[in-house]
Amino acid sequence: MTNAMEIYQMLPKTNCKKCGKTSCMAFAVALMTRELTPDACLPLKEEPKYKDSYEKISSLFKPSEGATETGLIVHEDLCFGCGNCVVACPVNVANDPYGVGSGNAPKNTSKLILAIEEGIVKARNVDECRRFGKNKILCNGCIVTCPVEAIEFV
Amino acid sequence: MENNYHVCTGCSLLCDDIEVEYGTETINKIYTACRVGVAHMKESKEKVTFLVDNKPVDEEKALSETVKILKNAKNPLIFGLGASTNEAQKQAIELGKKINATIDDSSSFCFGSVVEALVTNKIKTCTLEDVRNKGDVIIFWGSNPADSHPRHLSKHSYFPRGSEKQRGWEEERTAIAIDIRKSHTAKICGNYFIQIPQGGDVELIDALISGLSGKLPKTSYNYPPKKILELANILKGAKFGIIFVGPGLIYSLENLAPLFRLMQALNEKSNFHLVPMVGNCNMRGFNENLFTETGYVNSVKFENGIVKHGSEYSIVESLKAKTVDAALIIGSDPFSSLPRSIAKSLLEIPIISMGPSETLTTKKAKVHINTAISGVESGGSAIRMDGTLVSFKPIVETKNPLEEYILKRIMEAL
Ligand code: SF4
Ligand code: SF4
Ligand code: SF4
Ligand code: SF4
């Protein structure tokens, strides 16, 4: 998983504010939360000396295949549908306490983030995820409960 | 939707909350089951197969050949049945009585003695619902449900909220793995992973017992006594503890005495239960059904109405001693599960194999009858690892005959 510091290291570090943020570090954080895209840093995008960094960062934040808009990726080849993440996710528990929150099949699917389909976890309603949005916290419920590291945030 | 839940017979958790979405012809999507379960439920195939000498025949020919073999046998072996419904198991036991068979399943080299201790109330046990609702200290000893029973931790033993466990696993449950290697389950248990050397289980049991009564716990492999004491303290504080024993622990025990000692010591200080991590969907059912009928859970020999029991009637010993002269193998593949030196003796006797898939055993069999997959293509009931009876209806239709039906026909033809 990438963190804001690693992203920062690849930025111009000039704090020129062209991206609309007060510093490169703030921009790195904005990238992590998907508030901005790499293209918003004009120096990075346009100056040849940052070409490598630009490509690297773009690939990290490219809405890559399978990745949801919040960056949650399920490695479907690894996931075997144990449901640990489904049952451990605090948002799932809050929205469906007697279904997935109690280890059972979903009873109320409207706001579930994670559910098992065809033996593999599927992510949806990702805007509900605690890692993103305004009041984000560093939730890792679905990551630490997975026996095979099948969930990743990019 | 709720009434439409299906049961998965992919393992002995018998998950009863599976939703199946049907397409026009077959299953379209399966929800909530793990990958193992999905594969199991989609295993169903169109083709109906009866083989004699590996050549396709019709049902009548396969049956007459089967009957011929069983009639000629003085001491046929009936083996397997771990993936059969209770109904088929009972039918097989009846057949065993009629033909004076030796009857056994793979529990004779695994969980048989544990299940026997449970059904005779020698060890305290509980249901998986109890674990979910009340369990606070959960021990996986020589078991690795993350791989063998994928939904074990999420549906019952660790992650779900239960009636008396509302605040969740982080705050209210401690999961502990004791194993010789860091399994996927051990990974989930994090710091509560006790790694012991192969065969080190009995010593750890006795060290824990010492620790429980405040004595210095010692092991020949010098497991840090402080850590054992810490563990003993957690166990002492349990309000509702469970040990899920797996094959890893069973294989390292010569008999169950150490386990009895441990359970007794634990229950003097706190409240502990034991549940065996039975593998196949209805292995426990076989043990219980045979027990009801004979008073023994496996390794039984019927002889003109008399029931004999002893290790000499287990599959391993009876093949070693070459006392059986034909084998009816139901839903099992001893050629891949038994040591080769023992399976070899099977080659010397005629084999009839019954089961939903073709295996090494089917290839070596004189007669093979493809039967419906219990719980997928056939309804019935099975007994979950914790002793709970679970009934199910078929998920798909099949042209393959039910085991029960074939066994009944064999009975009639005899
Ligand atoms: S535009 Fe780029 S270089 Fe300027 S502050 Fe933003 S991130 Fe830094
Ligand atoms: S990060 Fe937390 S809220 Fe988001 S999906 Fe994972 S467990 Fe759920
Ligand atoms: S915990 Fe991991 S393996 Fe289990 S369902 Fe979630 S992503 Fe898949
Ligand atoms: S855990 Fe076992 S019973 Fe449950 S869905 Fe998976 S294979 Fe089926």
pLDDT value at A64 more than 60: no
Q: Show the tokens assigned to A120.
A: 């593999």
Q: Show the tokens assigned to B382.
A: 């099975």
Please identify which residue in the block is written with the tokens 């960056």: A71
CA of A153 vs chain B CAs: smallest distance (Å): 19
pLDDT value at B34 more than 90: yes
CA of A124 vs chain B CAs: smallest distance (Å): 15
**Is residue B395 situated within a structural domain?**
no
Residue closest by Cα to atom 6 of ligand 2: A142
Contacts of B32 in chain A (CB under 8 A): 83, 104-106, 115-116
Asked if B30 is an interface residue toward chain A (Cβ–Cβ < 8 A), one would say yes
Cβ count within 10 A of residue B325: 15
pLDDT in tens, B313-333: 999 999 999 999 999 999 999
**Is residue A65 situated within a structural domain?**
no
Q: Mind giving me the DSSP string for B78-96?
A: EEE-TTS-HHHHHHHHHHH
**Is residue B204 situated within a structural domain?**
yes
CA of A84 vs chain B CAs: smallest distance (Å): 5
Q: Show the tokens assigned to B281.
A: 């969907």
Last residue of a domain, one of A12, A40, A60: A60
- Chain A 6-65, residues with CB within 8 Å of chain B CB atoms: none
Q: Does residue B330 contact residue B80 with C-beta atoms inside 8 Å?
A: yes
Same domain assignment for residues B256 and B267: yes
For chain B, how many structural domains are there in total? 2
Q: CB A93 to CB B168 under 8 A?
A: yes
**Is residue B380 situated within a structural domain?**
no
The range of the structural domain enclosing residue A54 comes to 4-60
Same domain assignment for residues B156 and B235: yes
pLDDT in tens, A80-129: 999 999 999 999 999 999 999 999 999 998 889 999 999 999 998 888 88
CA of B190 vs chain A CAs: smallest distance (Å): 9
CATH code of the domain covering residue A48: 1.10.15.40
**Is residue B197 situated within a structural domain?**
yes
**Is residue A66 situated within a structural domain?**
no
Q: pLDDT above 90 covers what percent of chain B?
A: 89
Query: Which segment of A66-70, B220-224, B380-384 scores lowest on mean pLDDT?
Result: A66-70
pTM (predicted TM-score): 0.86
- Chain B 237-296, residues with CB within 8 Å of chain A CB atoms: none
Please tell me the distance from the alpha carbon of residue B315 to that of residue A129, in angstroms, as a whole number.
54
Asked if A116 is an interface residue toward chain B (Cβ–Cβ < 8 A), one would say yes
Element (H, E) at B40: helix B35-41
Measure CA A77 to chain center. Answer: 19
pLDDT in tens, B48-61: 889 999 999 999 99
The range of the structural domain enclosing residue B205 comes to 112-276
Region class of A71: left (phi > 0), else alpha (psi between -120 and 50), else beta: left
User: Averaged over A51-59, what is the pLDDT?
Assistant: 88
Cα distance from N-terminal residue to C-terminal residue, chain B:
46
Last residue of a domain, one of B231, B257, B276: B276
CA dihedral A14, A15, A16, A19 (to 10 degrees): 120
B42 to chain A: closest CA residue = A118
pLDDT in tens, B62-85: 999 999 999 999 999 999 999 999
Q: How far is the CA of B299 from the centre of ligand 1 (A)?
A: 76
Last residue of a domain, one of B247, B276, B305: B276
Same domain assignment for residues B155 and B101: no
**A72-74 and A151-153 beta bridge pairing:** antiparallel
Same domain assignment for residues A137 and A83: yes
Q: How far is the CA of A115 from the centre of ligand 2 (A)?
A: 12
pLDDT at B63: 96
pLDDT at B1: 42
Nearest Cα neighbor of A33 from A132, A129, A125 is A132
Contacts of A119 in chain B (CB under 8 A): 30, 33-39
Spatial CB neighbours of B347, under 8 Å, sequence gap ≥ 6: B364
Backbone angles phi, psi at B204, to 5 degrees: -65, -40
Asked if A121 is an interface residue toward chain B (Cβ–Cβ < 8 A), one would say no
Contacts of B155 in chain A (CB under 8 A): 83, 87, 103-104
- Answer whether A121 contacts ligand 1 (Cβ < 6 A): no
Please tell me the distance from the alpha carbon of residue B320 to that of residue B322, in angstroms, as a whole number.
5
Same domain assignment for residues A125 and A97: yes
What's the Rg (C-alpha) of chain A? Answer: 18
Residue closest by Cα to atom 8 of ligand 2: A89
Backbone angles phi, psi at B300, to 5 degrees: -115, 145
Backbone angles phi, psi at B298, to 5 degrees: -165, -175
Nearest Cα neighbor of B283 from B328, B329, B331, B315 is B331
**Is residue B65 situated within a structural domain?**
yes
